[in-house]
Chains A and B, each alone.
Chain A
Amino acid sequence: MINFQNVSKIYQSNSHETIALDDATFRILPKEFVSLVGKSGAGKSTIIKLLIAEEKPSKGKVTMGNYEVAKLKLKELPSLRRRVGVIFQDFRLLPNKTAAENVAFALEVAGRTQEEIEEYVPQAMEMVGLKDKMRNFPKELSGGEKQRVAIARSMINHPDVLIADEPTGNLDPINTWDIIKLLLKINELGTTIILATHNKDIVNFLDRRVISLENGRVIRDEQKGKYILV
């Protein structure tokens, strides 16, 4: 359902070019759990930006379902982004909203009613194990808890795909494993997961599909892959 067809991304900055992605071709099927691995600057985040239409490919086609992402009109982008949940290393929570309000926000922008919000938000907080911290502000939460709020928010509109860009980058090992287990649980419930990470232990533990990148090229794509340092 997600298809990268000979995709290249070249960034131009003051007359010098960076090839962030170089002729990448791969396909991700529904309900897969795929890890994107590679050194810093390999092009992991670039793939994610292309998927959520934050950047346009310089060459090639990125399609999701029946849509070519780069061809979506401005008006159609919000609905794409609601079908794709994204979480980041830096959580990106609104500091002046409580955990529950942060999650509710994703429903508000989708135009859901107050009743729906009151019903779904506690469910989502329950799923990520934070029902007792709903009224806490982000600064009153640990890193792992913040990431779980972000996951609750990204899942609240029931996206088909959850994209995680280095979600455990700021977390200690215990919180890291909590988040990974949560992602596995979400995947079991039927959501496709795309996980960009540096973390060798995670990749090896998962024992799932691994796409390895180096200097923007896909150098390995294995069904039960390991993190292989080059």
Chain B
Amino acid sequence: MFLTKLFRTIKYGFLRFWREGSLSMATVAIVFLVLVGFGGLLLFNAISNKTLGYIQDKVDISVYFKTDANEDEIIRMQKSLQQMAEVRSVEYISKDRALEIFKERNANDPKISQALGVVDANPFGAYLNIKARELKDYAAINAYLDKDAFKSEVDKISYTESAAVIERLKKIKTTVEQSAFVLLIFIVATAALIIFNTIKLAIHSNRDEIGIMRLVGASNYFIRGPFLVEGILYGILGGVMATLVIGGGIYYFSPYMRIFVPDLDGWNYFISNSFRFLAYEAFFGILLGVVSSYIAVRKYLNI
């Protein structure tokens, strides 16, 4: 009984969608545009987060010690740095480890291995790799390291300037996202209005049929249901189309993205998240369709 009713409601929703023809298509197109915008924003957020994370991970402060620096001093400095709230990690690379790393890196270069063989003593100093919790924390750590107390042991401090640049990038990203969001709200409102109008027109042009439905004893649910189904269809179709188009776009641009961020494989990222992405798109599309058609039905389909 319930399934029969549900099935019929869906059937009549499809029929109505089909009969409306070009109006349905135009409405789907609008929903599609909104969802491309929505999906684009989602992706922009995901990709820029990933990119920034990648760049951010490359930022650190390295403190190089003199070759004859006292190891106890270095450990003490590491400990004191680790106590700082701003510091996420401090990695200690001893003289020997520094040499090893250098050797590993240049294993393929016989000249360098040869040159190293000639020198008995280890020419490398130990160093500390410091990573901050947040980009803005680097300034504080830098100031701390700048104290005279450390000067005797330290050879030089390399502070990657990119921190400030990244901070700027982040601000730009936030601004872009915020303005896109505001813009999206406007498109969403427009789309909602268009669906609302489509359903309103559908109700208007079907008022004879609705009258007959009432006459033969159709329940509210049976009369209203198909219009809601129509709204849901706009959402689903728009969502699927938007996902396909965005997927195509990513497939096309993925190689270019990798130039900027080697870690970022846009296409694979999209594929591995495509179901979730489609679910978001469909959910948002259905929400849009249901809410606007429900309001239209409530307003224009008084039973």
Contacts and interface: CB of A to CB of B under 8 A. Distances in A.
Interface of A: 52, 74-75, 77-82, 86, 92-94, 96, 105-106, 108-114, 153-154, 157
Contacts of B209: 94
Nearest to A79: B217
B220 interface: yes
A78 B4 contact: no
A81 B217 contact: yes
B303 interface: yes
Contacts of B212: 92-94, 105
Contacts of A93: 212
Contact of A109 (B1, B19, B208, B219): B219
Given A81-B215, A109-B213, 5 more contacts: A75-B219, A75-B220, A106-B217, A113-B4, A154-B216
A110 B303 CA distance: 17
B223 to A, nearest CB: 8
A157 B4 contact: no
Nearest to A80: B217
Contacts of A81: 214-217
Given A94-B209, A108-B8, A111-B4, A74 B217 contact: no
30 contacts: A74-B303, A75-B220, A77-B303, A78-B217, A78-B218, A78-B219, A81-B214, A81-B216, A81-B217, A82-B216, A82-B217, A86-B215, A92-B208, A92-B215, A93-B212, A94-B209, A94-B212, A96-B19, A105-B213, A105-B216, A106-B216, A106-B217, A109-B216, A109-B222, A112-B4, A113-B1, A113-B4, A153-B216, A154-B216, A157-B216
Nearest to B212: A92
B97 interface: no
B217 A110 contact: yes
B248 interface: no
A79 B208 CA distance: 20
Interface of B: 1, 4-5, 8, 19, 208-209, 211-220, 222, 303
Instruction: Name the prevailing secondary structure of the A interface residues.
Output: helix
Contacts of A111: 1, 4-5
Contacts of B211: 92
Nearest to B222: A109
Contacts of A105: 212-213, 216
Contacts of B4: 111-114
A165 B66 CA distance: 108
Nearest to A81: B217
B11 to A, nearest CB: 9
B217 A157 contact: yes
A72 to B, nearest CB: 12
Contacts of A94: 209, 212
A92 B216 CA distance: 11
Contacts of A110: 217
Nearest to B11: A108
Nearest to B214: A81
Nearest to A106: B216
A114 B4 CA distance: 8
A139 to B, nearest CB: 14
A132 B161 CA distance: 89
Contacts of B218: 78, 109
B217 A109 contact: yes
A80 B208 CA distance: 20
A146 to B, nearest CB: 13
A80 B214 CA distance: 11
A154 B219 CA distance: 16
A96 B215 CA distance: 17
A127 to B, nearest CB: 17
A113 B209 CA distance: 22
